[in-house]
Structure 1
Amino acid sequence: MIHNPNNIRTAGKPLEEASKVMVMVHGRGGSAQDILSLSNYINDKDFAFVAPEAHNNTWYPYSFLRPMQENEPYLSSALEVLESLRGRLQSDFNFKPTQIYWLGFSQGACLMLEFIARHATEYGGVFGLSGGLIGPPDTPRAYEGILDKTPVFLGCSDHDTHVPKERVLESEQVFKKMGADVTTKLYPNFPHSINEDELNIVNLLIAGSK
């Protein structure tokens, strides 16, 4: 395995005491500690936050728009990290899927959204910031499973340097077809970063999911 599933950082409440958990997935060149800093902006204090860290701080080597095999075996290893983490949260700490929330930025958002599509169930919430489903434009999106009204938020610039808005809108349609309650917001000429409005929407969706 390329990525170490045990290379995880935590913040917020201890996992044993938290009533919900948010998995935070960092972007290319980022770190678990970087993405965990966003936990300071989550208003709900009942969360444990867990963030896996990629080998050499990159989940896969090329653009998420390239043919998937070009990003192998890194991509499969990265998806396995999230699957392993979800399994441990459920088996070791007894979190139900509805108590598990997911947040990713950039490459981490792409990885997390692809994982959610492949492992669909009713989660507490899914927040993809500057990301979209993985693969070239003609990728068949034949995902099985139902997201069953899971709140999904997709936020991105309308002229993002890495993420075309078409992919964000395609991802929106895929998640809607899978039964998610999707909120999408494209920010005019915004840089490839996270903004205050996105964090406000995340907090609103968390508050509404109780």
Structure 2
Amino acid sequence: MLDSYDPERREILFRTRDEALDNLKRLLRGFSMLKESASVIEGGGAAADEIAAKVAEALAEDSAPQWESDGTVLDMRYTSSSIVARDDREAPAYDRHRYTPHAAPGHRAPMTWLTPDKALYDLFGLDFTLLCLSASAEAITMRDALAAALAKRGVPTTSLDLPIDGLRQLYDADLVLIRPDFQIAWRSGCQPSTPDRIVDLVCGYLQKEEVSER
């Protein structure tokens, strides 16, 4: 599993670095404009007020990306990781300014409030969390089989049964396996689909390209 750490985070690191450099260039451009206009602005008068307004507008526009950065902060996509399942469902396009929750493997588990004072994240365990979002017999059978496979491998897991319609729609799956870092490792409908192979994959014993079930 340690071998996955660098590949998972390297792409995010480069993305964040590039966005930070872009923010710096914007700020430097604004500061240069302010420096060039300072003497006129300090002189006062209608012309100074007009220039000051233009500089203020430019500074606000150039600094906005570093404050409107929900995508940068929350949209951590580890989809090329060797220890998350393969999911062919289309993901929303990355937007550095906005975060769109998406419950595919390799993405952050979507957060929601179950009650005004209880967050879903508060229920996740310290290790893996197996989220069951359906009360169907098929989902319960798979939950038990996957929990047994995780236990056989010695993987500490918290099981949560939350058959709530809105939550099922948010995660678009009956079962979801969530890592300690709140990234999704697997969800039903993905490959692999058998308990032992799911655990082998998320624990690093099975490389994603080896998964052949259809």
Place the TM-score, normalised by the shorter chain, in its bin. under 0.3
| Structure with more of its chain in strand, by fraction | 1
TM-score, with structure 1 as normaliser: 0.24
Structure that is richer in helix per residue: 2
In the superposition, the TM-score normalised over structure 2's length comes to: 0.24
